[in-house]
């Protein structure tokens, strides 16, 4: 479908506008996903990171690396806090 939208863009820009709206519809800015750890649904705002619930958890670089070694997908803020605590206990920080 995208190849059809990209084949012709007239000078007036109407097709470009149509393409932009179609791409936004196909790739919504925010989506409901499930936490990889607990399966709880939450709204992912990866395109607006500062407004995403995961940005409320302040992780160090080492903590981010630890989480990324355990999980490939997104985690909810609650699970990020739990995994952060696990890391800190394991490292003897707490």
Q: What is the tens place of the pLDDT at every residue in 15-48?
A: 433 433 443 444 456 789 999 999 999 988 877 7
Total domains present in the chain: 1
Instruction: Extract the tokens encoding 40.
Output: 């709880």
Which residues constitute the domain of residue 78?
2-90
- For residue 61, the tally of other CB atoms under 10 A from its CB is 7
- Which of 23-45 are b and which e, b meaning 16 or more Cβ less than 10 Å from the residue's Cβ? eeeeeeeeeeeebebeeeebebb
Query: Which tokens go with 39?
Result: 């399966």
pTM: 0.65
Q: What is the CB-side half-sphere exposure of residue 75 using CA atoms within 13 A?
A: 21
Q: pLDDT tens, 61-84?
A: 999 999 999 999 989 999 999 999
């Amino acid at each position: 479908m995208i190849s059809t939208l990209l084949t012709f863009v007239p000078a007036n820009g109407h097709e470009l506008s149509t393409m932009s709206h179609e791409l936004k519809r196909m790739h919504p800015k925010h989506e409901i996903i499930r936490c990889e750890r607990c399966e709880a649904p939450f709204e992912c705002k990866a395109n607006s990171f500062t407004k995403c619930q995961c940005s409320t958890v302040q992780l160090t670089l080492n903590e981010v690396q630890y989480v990324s070694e355990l999980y490939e997908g997104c985690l909810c803020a609650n699970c990020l806090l739990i995994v952060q605590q696990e890391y800190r206990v394991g490292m003897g920080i707490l």
